[in-house]
Amino acid sequence: MIVVIATALLLGGCASAPEETHEPFTRSSRLISAIEDHLTDDEYGAVVNRVQYGVTTGLLSDTERSEYLQQYVTYTRERYDQAVTDGEYREALKTAWNLRLLARHLPDEPVSYTTGDLATTDQLLADWATFARENDDAVLSLYLILRRDQISDLSGEDLIYYIGVAREMNHDEAVGRLTAAARRRELVVPLPEDPVDADGDEPGLMLPGTVTIWVNKGIRVDRGVGVPDRVIGSGFFVDPRGYLITNYHVIQSEVDPTYEGYSRLFVKLPGRPDERVPARVIGYDRIFDLALLKVEIDPKYVFSLSDIKTLVPGQRVLAFGSPGGLDSTITSGIISASGRRFLQMGEAMQVDVPINPGNSGGPLVLPSGQVAGVVFAGLEQFEGVNFAIPTYWIRHFFPQLFEEGEVKHAWLGISVRQNGTGLEAVYVAPGSPADRAGVEPGEVLTHINGETGLTLADAQDQLLGIDAGYLVHTVWQKTEEDDTVSTTQRIISVGVRPYSPVEEALERQPIEALFPVLFGMQVDDVSGAPWGPDFVITDVFPGSVADESSLSVDDPFALRTWRVDSDLRAAFIQIIIKKRKAGFIESGVQLGAYLETDSFL
């Protein structure tokens, strides 16, 4: 066969060469070629998404679908077995989940889903906790135990051990849960040996668990005069081995590859202003503005993160930090509101607490002593209003901060808006998991892994709880041209979320493709008409930039210019528009939107 092909190539220029025969190029053949390429590159998550596309479009036969799924299952089962053998419990949890999900949602598929001998999630978490315990990582061990659906099946010895760990971590919520389980077993729970370990610690006892973060960036020139360039923030210990949490923006110069200047990081302990303790960044999360640092000291107090999802407005809180570098400062106030959408993922809480520059990264503490949030101070557009990152969201990826480098989050690759039935996809990122699985703008996501009544926060909550490579079962609805509603189920392998989906998209697409995401309007391109404008608006999302700028459906406009301001982290467009509400009088309008939009899943 090789000889025949070579001969044909050699004789390609001769008039007497035989006519070449090829398989006809079809959508099916192109899809199969893409799947085969993914298999060659061991990109099995992409295989699942391509197969899902082939199933919903009818481009794959039942035999082809089963064959490719069988290869995925075989690969995943091998990864599971190897992960269990090697003690890679994060991978074991993912692969076990994926196999069970396929078996549950494709029971009639003629593929051997070998799930009967898989360890349960609780068992894998217990094994992982034991591994962490044996490696002197008590914080991770306790965290993993608390993630289990049940703790009542723990041995009496383990329950007493974890109660002791929870006390050492000042984790009153964990102490209460574990103690209740122990007493149901009629176990004798030892009393705390140190009064610091008692419930409801006094604020003064917590201060030794806080630090002032200093980043020395050398000298900067201001109006011809050299002045010291310093970044001051706050932090608090979360592990007795010297690990502490602060904001990413405080230590950004330490890990930002685009920063080329001088940068030295150290911390100052309470009551010791002249002593500088060198620190290093372990892990960081740009999306949630968090970083985990390590110092070689034994902290006198360790804070714990609360699992409370929603804090009631009016609830009292304390803010610990170093405003202006003044260490050991405690201010009090209340929760003003929850559910503020300022982050790319999750929600922030608004607080009425005196907070100033230097408080960034400090703990927001409940009267019980648990950390309810991490202060990230105020936003420029909201002078005098302060915010914090709830620890409920942090708990999802808290263990990953202990791993070197940047925390990676999962994503589907769609931007959505809330409607009456679910989350409508208004944009699908090219090459994303959702794109490869065949999701199109206009489809409405109604279920993720069985959860209904989805809000944006609900969907992001689910994605934060998993890593890239996990399978999710989704249900979508679409209104057809005849007003009937079709329903499609898709199993999608989630990918790695880019830090700034909008910026990544702008490198591959024109800005008009991002109009729904940035400005909240959908448009039709009518630039083919030489006498008319470039676009006409077909939909305006309530509360969006377009809506607040009084743009409306059927308004024609011409896009004159656009730019991205890297310093402001915003995109701007200038358009010439004929607003229907203004009698179609032509006017110039500039629209601006932040790049870090919160609408992506």
Give the full edge-to-edge strand order of the sheet including 556-565: 521-525, 535-540, 556-565, 570-579, 585-594
Please give the model's pTM, rounded to 2 decimal places: 0.89
In this prediction, residue 583 carries a pLDDT of 72
Q: How far apart are CA 160 and CA 155, in angstroms?
A: 9
In this prediction, residue 384 carries a pLDDT of 66
CB 438 within 8 A of CB 57: yes
Q: What is the CA 55 to chain-centroid distance, rounded?
A: 29
The alpha-carbon radius of gyration of the chain (Å, integer) is: 28
Residues involved in catalysis: 249, 289, 360
Query: pLDDT of 76-96, one tens digit each?
Result: 999 999 999 999 999 999 999
In this prediction, residue 461 carries a pLDDT of 92
Residue ranges of the chain with per-residue pLDDT less than 50: 1-18, 20-22, 196-199
Query: Going along 298-403, which residue ranges are E strands?
Result: 316-321, 329-340, 348-352, 363-365, 371-379, 382-390
In this prediction, residue 1 carries a pLDDT of 34
CB 316 within 8 A of CB 382: no
Q: Do domains 410-499 and 502-594 have the same CATH topology?
A: yes
Class of domain 200-406: mainly beta
Query: Going along 223-327, which residue ranges are E strands?
Result: 225-239, 243-246, 264-268, 277-278, 280-285, 290-294, 316-321
Query: pLDDT of 113-146, one tens digit each?
Result: 777 889 999 999 999 999 999 999 999 999 999 9
Query: pLDDT of 38-84, one tens digit each?
Result: 988 999 999 999 999 998 899 999 899 999 999 999 999 999 999 99
Q: CA-based angle 489:491:494, to the nearest 5?
A: 135
Q: What is the CA 334 to chain-centroid distance, rounded?
A: 27
User: Hey, where are the domains in the chain?
Assistant: 121-199, 200-406, 410-499, 502-594
What is the 3-state composition of the chain as percent helix, strand, coil, each rounded to the nearest 5?
35, 30, 40
Q: Does domain 410-499 have CATH number 3.30.420.310?
A: no
Class of domain 502-594: mainly beta
Amino acid at 503: E
- How many C-beta atoms surround the C-beta of residue 556 within 10 A? 21
CB 544 within 8 A of CB 518: no
